[in-house]
Chains A and B, each alone.
Chain A
Amino acid sequence: MLHIIVCIKQVPMVSELPWDSKTGTLKREAAQGMMDPSARRALEAALQIKTGMGQNQAHIIAVSMGPPMAEEILYEAKALGADQGVLLTDPCMAGADTCMTAFILGKFITGHCPDAGLVLCGSMSSDSETAQVGPQLAEVLDIPAIGYARRLELVGNCIRVERHVDDFMELMEMDLPGLVTIDHAGESDLYTPRYVALGGVETAFKAGDVRLMDGAALGLDKNFNALTSSPTKIIDVYSPVTGKENRVLTGAVKKMVDTLFDDYGKIISSAMGKDLKTHDHEGDV
Chain B
Amino acid sequence: MSAEKQIWVWADYRNYFQSRVTLQILARASVLAEKTNAAVCAVVFGDKVDAYVKEYIAHGAQKVYVTDDPSLKTYNVASYAFLLTSLVRRFAPETLLIGATRFGQEIAPRAAKQLDTGLTADCIDLDIDDAGQLVQVAPSFGGNLIAKIITPHTRPQMATIRPGTFQERPHDDDAQGEVITVPLPETMPSPRVRCLKSELRPARARKIETADIVITGGRGMGSKGKFKKLFDLADLLHAEVGATRPVVYADWVSSEALVGQAGKHIKPKVLFSFGVSGAIQHTAALADARFIVAVNKNPNATMMKLADVALVADANQVCSGIIRALKQRIRD
**A residues near B, CB below 8 A?**
14-15, 17, 25-26, 37, 97-99, 102, 126-136, 138-140, 143-148, 160, 164-175, 178, 185, 187, 189, 192, 230-240, 242, 244-250, 253-254, 256-258, 260-261, 263-265, 267-268, 270-278, 280, 283
Contact = CB atoms under 8 A, between A and B. Distances in A.
Contact of B331 (A15, A136, A276): A276
A185 B209 contact: yes
Interface stretch (B26-34, B58-66, B169-177, B188-196): B188-196
Contacts of B153: 231
B30 to A, nearest CB: 24
A242 B312 CA distance: 21
Contacts of A246: 305, 307-308, 310
20 contacts: A14-B280, A37-B262, A99-B119, A127-B141, A133-B109, A135-B77, A165-B102, A168-B198, A168-B199, A169-B197, A170-B199, A172-B195, A234-B149, A239-B144, A240-B143, A248-B299, A249-B309, A250-B299, A253-B314, A265-B329
Greatest chain A CB density within 10 A among B117, B212, B309, B328 is at: B309
Contacts of B15: 166-168
B312 A250 contact: yes
For chain B, the bracket of interface size reads 35 or more
Nearest to A228: B153
A19 B285 CA distance: 17
B255 to A, nearest CB: 6
B174 to A, nearest CB: 28
Contacts of A126: 141-142, 261-262
Contacts of A173: 193-194, 196
Contacts of A165: 101-103, 106
B318 interface: yes
A47 to B, nearest CB: 18
Given A168-B15, A244-B307, A272-B238, A185 B264 contact: yes
A274 B314 CA distance: 27
Contacts of B78: 144
Given A14-B261, A131-B121, A170-B198, A275 B331 contact: yes
A216 B310 CA distance: 57
A3 B292 CA distance: 48
B212 A17 contact: no
Contacts of B120: 232
